[in-house]
Amino acid sequence: MSKSDPARSATGGPGDARLSRASVQRFSLYLRHLQRFVREGVQTVSSGQLAEILDLSDAQVRKDLAYLGNLGQPGIGYPAQELIAALRHRLGIDRTWATVVVGIGNLARALLRHRGFEQQGFQFVALFDADPHKIGQKIEGLEVHDPRRMAEVVAELQAVLAVVAVPAEAAQGVTDALVAAGIRGILNFAPTVVRLPEGVSLVSVDLAVQLEQLAFLVQLNQGSDKPDVEKQGGLLDTP
Amino acid sequence: MSKSDPARSATGGPGDARLSRASVQRFSLYLRHLQRFVREGVQTVSSGQLAEILDLSDAQVRKDLAYLGNLGQPGIGYPAQELIAALRHRLGIDRTWATVVVGIGNLARALLRHRGFEQQGFQFVALFDADPHKIGQKIEGLEVHDPRRMAEVVAELQAVLAVVAVPAEAAQGVTDALVAAGIRGILNFAPTVVRLPEGVSLVSVDLAVQLEQLAFLVQLNQGSDKPDVEKQGGLLDTP
């Protein structure tokens, strides 16, 4: 995230306690499992069930869900649909986010075909690529535009989020153009640091970092040189 | 990570203090920036420089790097090459990890073309896909094998890690086959929960979760319904 992190000065949520970044990541994971439970016909879920699936303590789950209000009933559990609605509201996905994608290579194609995005409220509305051979093509039903038309297209489609899947050396230029066009949040897959002005949010996904974390865990498991690692229930902990 | 997390019972590293999962993620990020510094001709790096780039406190950086031993010199900084070597050793990437990829769609193709993996010690050695049209094809120089040959190929190539990029419904079956073949760590991109036996490590990357985290941050930035989010310096914080 950029230095503009508003969380530093934001006031507290319910109970005025601090909501950790790890909690926010777990919200996404609770939501995923609750949606599956509901598909399977489950109506009420206990904190113990969620704790078991996500390998967390029961107390941790109850603490996280307390941020959403008093939804749980002792001895009964949480109404699954209400919990889903509360999680979607808190995550900000009880609305549709118009999203553009810049850099239409294999990764972008994989993202465009990912069935989970639209279900969670992310609607891909336009694609951009600087390659003249790609401009004008339709990929997964969306036209690839010339990046020079970014401001116009973003405004017309009222896009708010952007996925950046360009090579590292192009990432800052693309990011600057997206910000100038009015984009408010960027999901960056380019393996580099991008700088953003105040008020624009960034989530970076470096796929090599994920593999390094795996190597570290396998090395731990192999018993050579074992440091102690604290359990956090973040993305990397998820079974 | 699975319930077999060895970190729960592992003893401490240098100083016997707890090494958090977030610290391990930051190791990858320090490494990335140090490698760039070295490419730019820099020989000595201060904790302040790393703190500035990663938007962390100076004290946090010094604490993280103290796990690597006494490498820093007061008033001078850290020798970049030595710090890189120490980070690679601690992360377990001062060796080569033979890695297979299962499910050869757009995501796998993007990963195979990612220039950063081989540089960090991950060598893709074999591909698997159940699609008869893909079996026998060469993708980025590697042959696509029939998954029924997994045990044989994994043993022959002494593969240790696997990237799983198959549809959700196929993920558990593929994971079971990989484990039976002797794979010790799995990077899972399938948007589902996979269960692993003791002793096999898992890192899951759910791309929809990343977009949800971005939506949450943008919502925060827009000032509607601001909970307090603690700064963690993990992947999501990285500028």
Interface test with A, best of B218, B224, B226 (most A CBs within 10 A): B218
Give tens-digit pLDDT for A205-237: 888 888 899 999 898 887 644 444 433 333 333
For A97-205, which CATH superfamily applies?
NAD(P)-binding Rossmann-like Domain (3.40.50.720)
Contact B161/A211, CB-based, under 8 Å?
Answer: yes
Buried b (16+ CB within 10 A) or exposed e, A156-175: eeebbbbbbbbeeebbbebb
Contact A195/B239, CB-based, under 8 Å?
Answer: yes
> Angle, nearest 10°, between helix axes A168-181 and A150-157?
50
Nearest partner of B88 among B57, B119, B59, B60, judged by Cα: B119
- Residues 46-65 on A with a CB inside 8 Å of B are 53, 55
**Does the CB of B69 have a partner CB in chain A at under 8 Å?**
no
Q: Which residues of A touch B160 (CB under 8 A)?
A: 218
The shortest CB-CB distance from A210 to any of B110, B187, B216 is to: B187
Sign of CA dihedral A67, A69, A74, A77: negative
Higher pLDDT, A18 or B227: A18
Min distance A68 CA to chain B CA atoms (Å): 11
Interface test with B, best of A21, A163, A169, A220 (most B CBs within 10 A): A21
Give tens-digit pLDDT for B146-200: 999 999 999 999 999 999 999 888 999 999 999 999 999 999 998 788 889 989 9
Q: Which residue in B has a C-alpha nearest to residue A53's C-alpha?
A: B193
Q: What is the pLDDT of residue A76?
A: 86
CATH architecture of B14-91: Orthogonal Bundle (1.10)
The alpha helices in chain A, defined as continuous H runs, are: 21-39, 47-54, 58-66, 80-91, 106-113, 116-119, 150-157, 168-181, 207-221
Give tens-digit pLDDT for B98-149: 999 999 999 999 999 887 788 888 999 999 999 999 999 999 999 999 999 9
The shortest CB-CB distance from A204 to any of B114, B161, B238 is to: B238
Residues 6+ apart with CB under 8 A from B87: B27, B30, B31, B34, B68
Q: How far is CA A31 from CA A63, A83, A90, A126, A189, in A?
A: 15, 8, 11, 27, 24
Give tens-digit pLDDT for A197-206: 989 999 988 8
The CATH 1.10.10.10 portion of chain B extends over 14-91
Q: Which residue in B has a C-alpha nearest to residue A204's C-alpha?
A: B236
**Does the CB of A94 have a partner CB in chain B at under 8 Å?**
no
Contact A220/B25, CB-based, under 8 Å?
Answer: no
Residue A197 is given by DSSP the state -
Nearest-angstrom CA–CA distance, B214 and B218? 6
Q: Burial, B30: exposed, middle or buried (Cβ in 10 Å; 0-12, 13-18, 19+)?
A: buried
Q: Which residues of A touch B104 (CB under 8 A)?
A: none
Per-residue pLDDT tens digits of chain A, which is 239 residues long: 333 333 332 333 333 345 677 788 889 989 988 998 999 999 999 999 999 888 788 998 999 999 998 888 888 899 999 999 999 999 989 999 999 999 999 999 999 988 778 888 899 999 999 999 999 999 999 999 999 999 999 999 999 999 999 988 899 999 999 999 999 999 999 878 888 998 999 998 888 888 899 999 898 887 644 444 433 333 333 33
Phi and psi at B212, nearest 5°, equal: -65, -40
Q: How far is CA A69 from CA A12, A59, B224, in A?
A: 13, 16, 17
Min distance B77 CA to chain A CA atoms (Å): 22
Q: How far is CA A38 from CA A6, A94, A124, B89, in A?
A: 34, 17, 26, 45
Other beta carbons less than 10 A from residue B156's beta carbon: 11
The CATH 1.10.10.10 portion of chain A extends over 6-91
CATH architecture of A6-91: Orthogonal Bundle (1.10)
- The structure's pTM equals 0.77
Count of CA atoms in the C-beta half-sphere (13 A) of A3:
12
Q: What is the pLDDT of residue B210?
A: 87
Q: Which residues of A touch B205 (CB under 8 A)?
A: 205, 207, 210, 235
- Residues 154-193 on B with a CB inside 8 Å of A are 160-161, 163, 184-187, 191, 193
The CATH 3.40.50.720 portion of chain A extends over 97-205
Amino acid residing at A202: L
Q: Which residue in B has a C-alpha nearest to residue A205's C-alpha?
A: B235
